[in-house]
Amino acid sequence: MANQQKAQEIADALDTVVNKERLKGFTGLTVAPDAVTLHWKGKVPARITSVIGTATVPVNVKAAPFSLAELDAAARAVGATPPASLAGKVTRVGPTSDFAAIEVATDTAVPGTGHKAAPAESVNGIPIRYVVEARSVGASRWDDTAPFWGGNAIDRLVDPIFRTYAYCTTAFPVRRSNGSEALLTAEHCGANKKWNTPYGDRLVGNSNGGSKPLDAMLLTGSTYGNAIFVGDHNSNQGVLVGGAANPAVSSYIFASGSFSGASVLRVQSVNQYLANSEGVLVGPGFWAINEEGDASVGEGDSGGPVAGTHSNPQRVTARGLISHISTGSYLGSCVGVVHDGRLCSTRSFHVNIGAITSGLSVTVKTS
């Protein structure tokens, strides 16, 4: 991750300008250890060229056939209303890593077509590529005290008779538009519930209704520090949060779930949408892979923080929230907390921090 730091700082600066000034024509960013590729449709505005002019690593501008807005609209259209032969089969949808097409994954091949002659070859003039991929599942530190950090374990009582609990992880402390504090986690963990620490049974917060399309919700009712846990699942070590920005293709990040602990992942694709078990299209987000082949994100990690490097080595940059894991061939032996029936994967889906903060009207607490 450290090898990419300078390139990632430039990518973050470009992403910040694009979002702050709502510039049209932006398509995406790809990060290499010593360079950044900016994909742009049409003429690059002066505000962007000025950022490029101050870059400390080469920034290559690549002409893009489609803007991110066009790709996003196409992905949402296919995901929301797929062709009849794909109904109930779509598992995810989003732009390819080169931003040249929309990739649609289905859990089985389309009967009688074999994907090569799939029902739709394009949407709004954007090519569609089809792949077969199993449906993803929710990725469902243990004794924290207030002010609570992101990355800590939380639980809620499900059955008071049999004393069964549901477990998840928190993401980043945030500040709401009214100035009050809150803590992010995944909506699929359970909206409108009371969440405590597994050890000590201290109230971490009460969840609100949240957002199913963002798979994010807020915990309120306590105090929250501007840090996240890092290290193993039983770690007591943390790091301060210094900023927030969406990741670029090929950039390195780390996910920090309370069951699996922290692990380094590489971003495969961005601005993706996942069809969850309820048929809700979740996103925009990004897919990331453990290049070592370790199944380092799993159930219990849901809602946890995903972060990257920051210009200050004592800080991290918020990138997203752990949402789902891939099944099928991506499943493997869990790390961290291991018990019968727990699913863990080498590949995981994370919702963009920018989409979450915008959609929930919050800002990440930083130091």
Report the candidate in 105, 109, 52 with the shortest Cα–Cα distance to residue 85: 109
| Cα gap 80→62, rounded to integer Å | 30
* Mean pLDDT score of the chain: 91
For 85, phi then psi, to 5°, come to: -70, -10
Give pLDDT, residue 117: 46
**Comparison of pLDDT for 71 and 340, the residue scoring more:** 71
Pinpoint the alpha helices (H) of the chain: 5-21, 46-53, 68-80, 353-360
Q: Comparing 178-182, 255-259, 276-280, which segment has the lowest mean pLDDT? A: 276-280
Write a three-state SS string for 281-314.
EEEEEEEEECCCCCECEECCCCCCEEEEECCCCC
* Interval 233-262: pLDDT, tens: 888 888 999 999 999 999 999 999 999 999
| pLDDT classification of 208: cutoffs 50, 70, 90 | very high
Strand partners for 229: 238
Residue 251 CA to residue 249 CA, distance in Å, equals: 6
Whether domain 138-364 has CATH 2.40.10.10: yes
Domain assignments of the chain as residue spans, ordered by start: 2-63, 68-133, 138-364
Phi, psi of 330 (to 5 degrees): -80, -15
The pLDDT assigned to 248 comes to 95
> Residue 268 has which token pair?
């495969």
The confidence score (pLDDT) of residue 133 equals 83
β-sheet bridge partners, residue 171: none
Residue 237: closest CA among 143, 141, 308: 141
pLDDT digits (tens, 9 = 90+) for 282-316: 999 999 999 999 999 999 999 999 999 998 888 99
Determine the longest span between alpha carbons in the chain, in angstroms.
64
Where does 2-63 sit in CATH, by number?
3.30.70
In this structure, what DSSP letter does residue 90 have?
A: E
Residue 170 reports pLDDT greater than 90: yes
